[in-house]
Amino acid sequence: MCMRPPRRTEGSADMAVITYRDALGQALREEMQRDPDVYLMGEEVAEYNGAYKVSRGLLDEFGPMRVVDTPIAELGFAGIGVGSAMVGLRPVVEMMTWNFALLAIDQIVNAAAKVRYMSGGQVGCPIVFRGPGGAALQLAAQHSQAFESWYAHVPGLKVVMPATPADAKGLLKSAIRDDSPVVFIEGEMLYNMKGEVPDGEYTTPLGVADVKRPGRDVTIICHSKTVAVALKAAEQLAGEGVEAEVIDLRTIRPLDTEAILSSVARTHRCVVAEEGWPFAGIGAQVVDLVQREIFDELDAPVLRVTGADVPMPYNKGLEKAAKADPAKTIAAVKRVLYAEAS
């Protein structure tokens, strides 16, 4: 799927059509060239070129001191990353998937997120934990989970989720340069997506949402893989005369509250689409924000489209039924427009 050209915050005039995977690889290469304190570590990132080939070629260019294969020991190598960040390096720690990061959650939540606060600002922790999250195809319950709401719940962590190749590159570069620990969750089903990406120096600021499609009738708030879902829904709705505005959060924490509120204040209706489970999800935070700040602007209740509140089934048909999709999003939009089919 090709996305529309990105908005540039910094960059050159040249654009190339590349995959989401290669955009991430470009970001890593450029930041490692720019700053000798940046290094990559994780399972199979070096000799194997990465489980998803994001780190392809980096070992040959930077050597084994800066592209480090680790044992299958997430807690251990996450801790090494945190310790090295505390003494001035800028590690990028790849989790083969965020499902496996559960084994490292103590280092992410109890160490990385808290070290600056607990040291009274004396010790920083500029580290990026990155890798794919969410469901792919028939990977079943233990390998299909969207954990962004878990990490966004934790003070001290920034949570970033790019949906396009351009944002993958720009946001990863910004995350590596950030002085806070960043949880960077890539879409496992997005690695082969192609889109235009600026060549050379290009960054996307953290905490700034993006209007992926302007509209006047309803706002669809989404992130990561549900951006493609929302755009497909919006395209179908346009054929019925409904113009939906699609807001890609890009960063879950810090949340771009201004972008959300300004859009909903114009459209007066809102649907939130996310991959995760419904209870205490990202959408719940968005709903709270909208009803608390601009309740009088709403012409209908805010509705949420989420994954089903079950462990992900292995069965292909059940898995499809459990995921957020364009049909469910369109149904929610019609409900907030009071236009359900009779």
H helices present in the chain, as ranges: 20-34, 58-62, 74-86, 105, 115-118, 148-152, 165-177, 225-238, 257-267, 282-294, 316-322, 326-336
Q: Rounded to an integer, what distance in angstroms lies between the CA atom of residue 246 and that of residue 2?
A: 16
Q: Rounded to an integer, what distance in angstroms lies between the CA atom of residue 180 and that of residue 18?
A: 29
- Taken in order of first residue, the domains within the chain and their CATH numbers are 11-198 (3.40.50.970), 210-335 (3.40.50.920)
Structure confidence at residue 277 (pLDDT):
96
Structure confidence at residue 12 (pLDDT):
46
Structure confidence at residue 5 (pLDDT):
41
**Cα 227 → chain centroid:** 10
Q: Among this protein's residues, is 74 annotated catalytic?
A: yes
SS3 237: helix
Q: Rounded to an integer, what distance in angstroms lies between the CA atom of residue 96 and that of residue 133?
A: 9
Q: Among this protein's residues, is 186 annotated catalytic?
A: no
Structure confidence at residue 289 (pLDDT):
98
Which one of 74, 188, 245, 275 is the catalytic residue? 74
Q: Rounded to an integer, what distance in angstroms lies between the CA atom of residue 227 and that of residue 57?
A: 30
Q: Along the chain (342 residues), what's the average pLDDT of each consecutive run of 10 residues?
A: 43 79 97 98 96 96 97 97 98 97 97 97 97 93 95 98 98 98 96 93 96 98 98 98 98 98 98 97 97 97 97 95 97 94 44
Q: Rounded to an integer, what distance in angstroms lies between the CA atom of residue 222 and that of residue 249?
A: 6
Structure confidence at residue 340 (pLDDT):
73
Structure confidence at residue 199 (pLDDT):
84
**Amino acid (one-letter) located at 167:** D
Are the C-beta atoms of 291 and 257 separated by less than 8 Å?
no
Radius of gyration of the chain (CA): 20
Q: Cβ neighbours of residue 50 under 8 Å, at least 6 residues apart? A: 42, 44, 56, 94
Instruction: Report the greatest alpha carbon distance in the chain.
Output: 64
Q: Rounded to an integer, what distance in angstroms lies between the CA atom of residue 260 and that of residue 339?
A: 23
Which one of 10, 143, 196, 293 is the catalytic residue? 143
Q: Rounded to an integer, what distance in angstroms lies between the CA atom of residue 103 and that of residue 107?
A: 9
Structure confidence at residue 3 (pLDDT):
41
SS3 59: helix
Are the C-beta atoms of 230 and 273 separated by less than 8 Å?
yes
